[in-house]
Amino acid sequence: MGNVTIESYREVAPPGAIDLIMKLAGRVKKKTFLHVNSTRYGGGVAEMLHRLVPLFNELGIRTRWEVMEGTELFYRTTKSFHNALQGQEQAVTSEMYEEHRRVNNENAARLPLEADFAIIHDPQPAGFVEVKPKKAKWLWRCHIDISRPQRNVWQFLKRYVDKYDGAIFSLPSFAQKLTIPQFLVYPSIDPLSDKNRELTTEEISGTLSRYSIPRDKPMILQVSRFDRFKDPMGVIAAYRMAKKYNDCCLVLAGGGAADDPEGAQVLSDIKNAASIDKDIFILDLPPDANVTINALQRAAAVVLQKSTKEGFGLTVAEAMWKGKPVIGGAVGGITVQLVYGRTGYTVNSIEGCAYRIRYLLNNPDIAAKMGENGRDYTRRNFLITRHITDYLSLIATV
């Protein structure tokens, strides 16, 4: 993570944002802050906590991060919970519920949980609330899309959630009927991470050369897991419609195929669909290919996120941060991130997507202006500095 300090963000955050953070932090300096989740490495939550925890300590708020441990059955259970809460029907047995309870009790008894304020992340450690000290304030932070949860799993979890002092969701549509306050905190990107930092021309061209991506035609890019909800086949169809009028290439960069049978099938389908077109590049990237993704986003002319179902989809904010116009499916968090006609377009069909690709390729000045707007919009709304401000204001008021 290098020597990143709160001052490092002054260059990239909105004017006055760091001063505001410092003033707000001054109010809660004497409080102690705790995060609890289920993994130290891998996944967006852990990635964000690696950055947030040192920054909060630098701001004078003594902040700790505890990680629970589980059994194979526990992780299988929480994977089922995850899918069920996101709306996929799962068979969850009483043995699985019992394992969730048992592992939560065991970890809650073992880990030091003293703090004035705590954020417990996601369903895995939700049961820790049973040992919440009376004077402490605890919030349950839900990072997943629970707009249409499987009822029995949600009812199990809700019994815990109602015992917190509040819940935090990433989108208004994720709100539930609860007896506690529900707060909205959007996810964020870290502008100083490998995925988003400025790159040299050599780093960008090196990436394009490595994958033999041509530089003499504009690149249309979608970065996402190989998943049907990301509609990669729709992306290929839209690209083909646009290519009849404007020469361009398409890069579909993603991952998740190695450990997911469905992802492997999607990847195979995409490869079959693309096989005859030498201007389609399918990159199955490892999870740590952050600089590669950064370089591709910076080299793209237009970035797509043509999902048909989406939680928050931070790839939209990542692309906007790099000054790119984005065309996204009109679903979930994409509608929050894209301001129609200002930072890009939300679309509802393959035809709409193809039309907007053509429009942006033929109007580079408008595309550039949208990219500029998108960078400003992201600076205000989706950077880690805004995330810090949100957490500080919750510590100050809950």
Partner 1 sequence: MKEFEFTGCIEIKELLGRKADNELQFMEIIEEVPSDCIYYHTHSYFLRHFYLAGQYPNDFANWAAIQVRDRVLGEKLGAVTLLPPKSIEDVRAEIIDIVDDHLSEIKMVPAVVYGEPFYFMKSRIIEVPLGVKTKDLAGFVKALEKVHASAVYNHIFEARLRVKKGKSDFAIWFDEVLGLHGLAGKIEKIDCYMYSLEGLREKIISLCGEEMR
Q: List contacts with partner 1 (CB under 8 A).
A: 14-17, 19-20, 23-24, 169, 172-173, 175-178, 181-185, 330, 335, 339-340, 342-343, 348, 373, 376-377, 380-381, 389-390, 393-394, 396-397
Tokens 């815990």 appear where? Answer: 160
Quote the least distance from Cβ 62 to partner 1, whole Å.
Answer: 21
Quote the least distance from Cβ 185 to partner 1, whole Å.
Answer: 8
Which is nearer to partner 1, 16 or 364 (by Cβ)?
16
Asked if residues 329 and 347 have their Cβ atoms less than 8 Å apart, the reply is yes
Phi-psi region of 317 (alpha: psi -120 to 50; beta: other; left: phi over 0): alpha
Cβ contacts of residue 221 below 8 Å, gap of 6+?
A: 250, 251, 253, 296, 297, 299, 300, 302, 303, 304, 319
Which is nearer to partner 1, 46 or 178 (by Cβ)?
178
Helices 201-210 and 290-299: crossing angle, nearest 10°?
Answer: 100
Tokens representing residue 255 in the block: 């991952």
Sign of the dihedral through C-alpha 337, 339, 344, 347: positive
Quote the least distance from Cβ 342 to partner 1, whole Å.
Answer: 5
Which is nearer to partner 1, 280 or 320 (by Cβ)?
320
Quote the least distance from Cβ 71 to partner 1, whole Å.
Answer: 34
Tokens representing residue 143 in the block: 């990072």
Which is nearer to partner 1, 245 or 340 (by Cβ)?
340
Quote the least distance from Cβ 380 to partner 1, whole Å.
Answer: 5
H or E element at residue 49? helix 44-58
Quote the least distance from Cβ 344 to partner 1, whole Å.
Answer: 12
Which is nearer to partner 1, 317 or 394 (by Cβ)?
394
User: What is the torsion angle, in degrees rounded to the nearest 10, for the CA atoms of residue 20, residue 23, residue 24 and residue 28?
Assistant: 160
Which is nearer to partner 1, 3 or 179 (by Cβ)?
179
